[in-house]
Structure 1
Amino acid sequence: MSHFVCIHGHFYQPPRENPWFEKIEVQDSAYPYHDWNERITVECYAPNSAARILDEEGLITSIVNNYSMISYNAGPTLLSWLEDNHPNTYLAFIEADRIGSNRFRGHGPAIAQCYNHMIMPLANERDKKTQVRWGTEDFLDRFGREPEGMWLPEMAVDMETLRIMAGEGIRYVILEPHQVARVRGLDGMWTSLPDGWIDPKVPYRVDLGEGQDIAVFLNDVGIAHEVAFGNLLVDGHWLSARLAGSFDGREEDQLVHFAIDGETYGHHFRFGEMALAYCLSRLREEGVHLTVYGEYLSLHPPLQEIEIKENTAWSCPHSLSRWKGGCTCSTGAHPGWSFEWRMYLRRAFDLLRDRACIHYERVASPLLQDPWVARNEYISIINDRSPKMRGYFLEKHASRSLDCEEQVLLLELLEMQRNLMLMYTSCGWFFDDIAGIEAVQVMWYAARALQLYRSTGGDDPNDDLQQILAEAKSNTTGFSDGVSVWQSRVLPHVTDLRKVCGQYALTSLFCPYPDTSMHAIYRVDRFLDCQEQEERRRIAVGAARVQSLLTCESKEFIYAAAYPGGPNLLAGVLPYKSEKEFCEIRDAVCAAWHDPASSFYDELTRWFGEGCIRGTDLLRDEARTIVSLILKNSIGRIEGSFQDIYSRYLPLMEAMHMLEMPIPPAIAVPVGHILNRDLIVALESDFPDPVEMSRISDAMQRFAIPPEKEKISMVAGSRLCILLQDLLGSPGDASIMASILGILNVIVSLSLCPSLWEAQNAFIQLRDAYMPIRNGKPGDRRYHSLPEQIEDIGRFLGVKI
Structure 2
Amino acid sequence: MIEQTISESAATIPGVGPTFLCLYGHFYQPPREDPFNHVMPLEPGAAPYANYNEKITAECYRPNALAGNFAAISYDLGPTLASWLEQNHPDVYQRIIEADHQHMQRYGVGNALAQAYNHTILPLATSRDKQTQILWGLQDFRRRYGHDAHGMWLAETAVDLESLDLLARNGVTYTVLAPWQAATSVDPSEPYLVALPSGRRITVFFYNAPLSGGVSFDWNTTNNADIFAASYLPEHLVKSKLEAGQAQMILIATDGELYGHHKPWRDKFLSYLVEHGAPDYGFEVCTLERYMLMYPASKEVELRVPSSWSCGHGVARWSTGCECTEGDSSWKKALRQALNNLAMRADQLFERYASETLSDPWAARDGYLALRNGWESAASFWARYGKGQEAPTDSQLAERTLKLLEAQYYQQCSFTSCGFFFEDLDRIEPRNDIAFARRAISLLWQALGVDLQTAFVQDLKAAKSWRSHLSGAELYQQLPIVQPGLLPPTRKKR
Distance 1:136 1:426, change over 3 A: same
Aligned amino acid, residue 457 of structure 1: L
**Structure 2 residue matching 1:111: 3-state secondary structure:** strand
CA shift at 1:382, angstroms?
2.9
Deviation at 1:390, TM superposition (A): 2.4
Matches within 5 A, 1:112-127: 112-127=114-129
- Residue 176 in structure 1 maps to residue 178 in structure 2: yes
**Contact 1:11–1:263 (Cα < 8 Å) also in 2:** yes
Which residues of 2 match residues 729-744 of structure 1 at below 5 A?
none
Aligned-pair CA distance for 1:475: 2.5
Q: 1:496 to 1:419 in 2, by over 3 A?
A: farther
Matches within 5 A, 1:210-221: 210-221=198-209
* Match among 385, 390, 393 for residue 381 of structure 2: 393
**Which of 287, 296, 305 is 2:291 aligned to?**
296
> What is the identity, as a one-letter code, of the residue corresponding to 2:382?
L
Classify the secondary structure of the residue corresponding to 1:425: coil
Q: Tell me if structure 1 keeps the 8 A contact 2:445–2:486.
A: no
Instruction: Give the aligned residue type for 2:57.
Output: T
Cα deviation, residue 102, structure 1 = 2.8
Report the AA paired with residue 258 of structure 2: T
Number of the residue aligned with 1:319 = 314
- Aligned partners of 2:484 and 2:253: how far apart in 1? 43
- One-letter amino acid of the counterpart of residue 83, structure 2: S
Greater strand content: 1
Candidates 388, 396, 399, aligned match of 1:405: 396
Higher-Rg member (1/2): 1
Residue type of the alignment partner of 1:416: A
Please give the per-residue CA displacement for 1:662-683, whole angstroms capped at 9, x wherever unaligned.
xxxxxxxxxxxxxxxxxxxxxx
| Equivalent residue number for residue 236 of structure 1 | 225
Alignment size in residue pairs: 461
**Is residue 62 of structure 2 the alignment partner of residue 72 of structure 1?**
no
The change in CA–CA distance for 1:129 and 1:496 in structure 2 (over 3 A counts) is: farther
Shift of 1:407: 2.1
The unaligned stretches of length 5 or more in structure 1 are 52-64, 182-192, 500-801
User: How far is the alpha carbon of 1:468 from its aligned partner?
Assistant: 2.0
Equivalence map 1:574-585=2 (5 Å)? none
**C-alpha displacement of 1:240:** 2.4
Aligned residue type for 1:199: D
C-alpha separation between the residues in 2 aligned to 1:69 and 1:462? 48
**Alignment partners' CA distance in 2, 1:498 and 1:473:** 27
CA distance in 2, matches of 1:89, 1:50: 8
The question of 1:256 aligning with 2:257 is answered no
Paired letter, 1:147? A
| Structure 2 counterpart of 1:468 | 459
CA distance in 2, matches of 1:49, 1:497: 45
Match of 1:444, SS?
A: helix
| Aligned residue runs from structure 1 range 153-164, under 5 A | 153-164=155-166
Distance 1:287 1:99, change over 3 A: farther
- Deviation, 1:26, is 1.2
Q: Distance in 1 between matches of 2:301 and 2:222?
A: 33
User: Any residues of structure 2 matched to 1:41-52 within 5 Å, and which?
Assistant: 41-51=57-67
Gaps of 5+ in 2: 1-16, 488-494
TM-superposition CA deviations, 1:330-375 (whole Å, max 9, x none): 2xxxx5x311111110000000101100100100001111111110
Q: TM-score under structure 1 normalisation?
A: 0.56
Match for residue 140 of structure 1 among 139, 142, 147? 142
Kept in 1: contact 2:442–2:486 (CA 8 A): no
Q: Distance in 2 between matches of 1:210 and 1:326?
A: 32
Q: How many angstroms apart in 2 are the aligned matches of 1:95 and 1:288?
A: 25
1:24-74 Cα distance to aligned partner (Å, 9 max, x none): 1211121111111111111101010123xxxxxxxxxxxxx1000000001
| Gap change, CA 1:87 and 1:448, over 3 Å in 2 | same
| Amino acid in the other structure paired with 1:94 | I
Q: Could you tell me how far apart the structure 1 residues matched to 2:313 and 2:238 are?
A: 33
The residue number in structure 1 matching 2:406 is 415
Aligned pair in 2 of structure 1 residues 362, 294: CA closer, same or farther (>3 Å)?
same
Alignment of 1:664-703 (within 5 A): none
2:343 corresponds, among 338, 353, 367, to 353
Question: Which position in structure 2 is the counterpart of 1:786?
Answer: none
Q: Aligned letter for 1:216?
A: V
Distance 1:234 1:222, change over 3 A: same
Secondary structure of the 2:133 match is helix
Residue 82 of structure 2 corresponds to residue 34 of structure 1: no
Q: 1:173 deviation in Å?
A: 0.7
1:8 aligns with 2:3: no
Contact 1:237 1:275 in 2 (8 A): no
Deviation of 1:290 (Å): 1.6
Aligned match for 2:112, one of 110, 113, 121 = 110
Deviation at 1:497, TM superposition (A): 8.0
CA RMSD across the alignment? 1.7
Partner of 2:490: none
Measure, in 1, the Cα distance between the counterparts of 2:395 and 2:361. Answer: 19
**DSSP 3-state at the match of 1:8:** strand
Deviations 1:254-279 (A, max 9, x none): 11112110000000110101000000
What do residues 751-777 of structure 1 show as CA deviations (whole Å, max 9, x unaligned)? xxxxxxxxxxxxxxxxxxxxxxxxxxx
Deviations 1:287-341 (A, max 9, x none): 42221111111111211111111111111111211111231322xxxx5x31111
Report the AA paired with residue 292 of structure 1: T
AA aligned opposite 1:265: Y
- What amino acid is the match of 1:208? L
Tell me the distance in 2 between the aligned counterparts of 1:493 and 1:37: 24
Q: Distance in 1 between matches of 2:228 and 2:383?
A: 54
User: Which position in structure 2 is the counterpart of 1:200?
Assistant: 188
Amino acid at match of 2:305: E
Letter in 2 for 1:97: D
Tell me, in whole angstroms, the C-alpha distance in 2 between the residues paired with 1:245 and 1:494. Answer: 58
User: Does residue 272 of structure 2 align to residue 278 of structure 1?
Assistant: yes
d(CA) in 1 for partners of 2:79 and 2:311? 24
Distance 1:451 1:199 in 2: 50
Check whether the contact 1:8–1:72 (CA below 8 A) recurs between aligned residues: yes
SS where residue 378 of structure 1 aligns?
helix
Cα shift at 1:495: 4.2
* C-alpha deviation, 1:204, in angstroms: 0.3
- Contact 1:240–1:280 (8 Å) recurs in 2: no
**CA deviation after TM superposition for structure 1 residue 476, in Å:** 3.5
Specify the alignment match of 1:89 in structure 2: 92
Distance 1:449 1:498, change over 3 A: closer
**Percent identity for Structure 1 against Structure 2:** 38
Determine which structure has greater relative contact order: mean sequence separation of CA pairs < 8 Å that are 6+ residues apart, divided by chain length.
Answer: 2
What SS is found at the alignment partner of 1:25? coil
Other-structure match for 1:653: none
Q: Deviations over 1:625-665 (max 9, x none)?
A: xxxxxxxxxxxxxxxxxxxxxxxxxxxxxxxxxxxxxxxxx
User: Where do residues 406-555 of structure 1 align in structure 2 (5 Å cutoff)?
Assistant: 406-457=397-448, 459-477=450-468, 479-488=469-478, 490=479, 492-495=480-483
CA contact (8 A) 2:42 2:50 kept: yes
Q: Tell me the alpha carbon deviations over residues 112-133 of structure 1, each in whole angstroms, 9 at most, x when there is no partner.
A: 0000100000000000000000
Matches within 5 A, 1:739-778: none
**Match among 209, 227, 249 for residue 215 of structure 2:** 227
2:300 and 2:481 map into 1 onto residues whose CA distance is 51
Provide the rounded CA distance (Å) in 1 between the counterparts of 2:455 and 2:141: 38
1:444 is aligned with what amino acid? A
- Residues 253, 134 of structure 1: alpha-carbon distance in 2 compared, 3 angstrom cutoff: same
TM-superposed CA distance for 1:473, in Å, is 1.3
Q: Alpha-carbon deviation of 1:463?
A: 3.1
> SS of 2:109's equivalent?
coil
Summarize the alignment of residues 649-668 of structure 1 with structure 2, pairs less than 5 Å apart: none
Residues 713-760 of structure 1: per-residue CA shift (max 9 Å, x gap): xxxxxxxxxxxxxxxxxxxxxxxxxxxxxxxxxxxxxxxxxxxxxxxx
CA distance in structure 2 between the partners assigned to 1:12 and 1:457 by the alignment: 35
User: 1:128 is matched with which residue?
Assistant: 130
Q: What letter corresponds to residue 201 of structure 2 in structure 1?
A: D
